[in-house]
Structure 1
């Protein structure tokens, strides 16, 4: 499995995250609205550097493929996302850790990101299952996950503790390889070259 892929469609290019991306990501990451309802919080350069360092360590351990998001329409870096929890033996992973500049939320960028990642996961990585999870309180994220054709599977109660100490309930969603061809055609066809 390639742990340094570049993924691309008409709207977005996902490039392998590197430590030196901290400079360009910092102004985006420091926007407090990104972290209002989430597991992590980035409020300083050292927080971002630690976040990137953990992602790169997990990539070296082959459990994660982190990306920096380049918005081809706006011609700029827009945030970060990743494949995580990669379990090759069971042919599954999670798509998550996605944060996008708030001015680009609702612009179609997130759907283009998810399309590039789902296409790679099912058609190149040949996975059977893609998982998504979010905080029960994050209604924007929940709606976005449903809008790309995922199935809500349930809520894990008191699943995680956020960096603020709040006990989080986590909503799980999934998409299966058998569902992908219909979802690709129905929801994502406008993002093809």
Structure 2
């Protein structure tokens, strides 16, 4: 099975395979909070979004990634982007990463449902055994968000990445495995119900 460029949709968010048609909306999302200035993550500057999309399309053609534009259904606006990456179909594992959301959508149902959609696709359609999340050990916001998903912290990859400013990053590693998935799914659905009790 290849990594098909598929759309994933829920009650609050739609994940569309990223194309150059999303360029301007993605630039607006990046400007919402000036996300490129964050030192503990990798978000493109608006002037680099075109290259960001080019790289995502090339990675999909190579079979290693699938990037999405994250669409807020309430407004129709692009809230940010996320992707499947480090995809290893023979060994049934992948990473969810390169996720960013404009400030207006952070800590909302948009991110929760996007992760629910991606994890459901990973485990129930692609048949993954393992989904990983990696983030800078300094990024307390990201680490807390990953923990809220129900992922297990497995350790720290020391001297793992060189950041744009030259900082040599240690990365915190988290995972959700197929045996974890039923409980994780129920927890995410309950969190969505708390956000929008009338939607379920």
TM-score range, shorter chain: over 0.9
Structure 1 position 74, deviation (Å):
2.8
Flag the structure with more relative contact order, 1 or 2, with Cα contacts below 8 A and sequence separation at least 6.
1
| 2:188 aligned residue | 187
| 2:113 aligned residue | 112
Native 8 Å contact 2:36 2:42 kept in 1? no
| 1:169 aligned residue | 170
Structure 1 position 41, deviation (Å):
4.2
**Cα deviation code 1:32-74 (max 9, x no counterpart):** 24541334342242x1111111111000001101100111123
Structure 1 position 164, deviation (Å):
1.2
TM-score w.r.t. length of structure 2: 0.90
User: How many positions carry a matched residue from both structures?
Assistant: 192
The 3 A distance-change label for structure 1 pair 172 and 35 is farther
In structure 2, the gaps of 5 or more residues are 194-198
Secondary structure of the structure 1 residue equivalent to 2:24 = helix
| 2:196 aligned residue | none
Secondary structure of the structure 1 residue equivalent to 2:90 = helix
What is the rounded CA distance, in whole Å, between the counterparts of 1:124 and 1:24 in structure 2?
A: 29
The worse-fitting range, judged by mean Cα deviation, of 34-43 and 142-151 is: 34-43
Where do residues 49-128 of structure 1 align in structure 2 (5 Å cutoff)? 49-128=50-129
What is the rounded CA distance, in whole Å, between the counterparts of 1:111 and 1:60 in structure 2?
A: 28
Structure 1 position 75, deviation (Å):
2.5
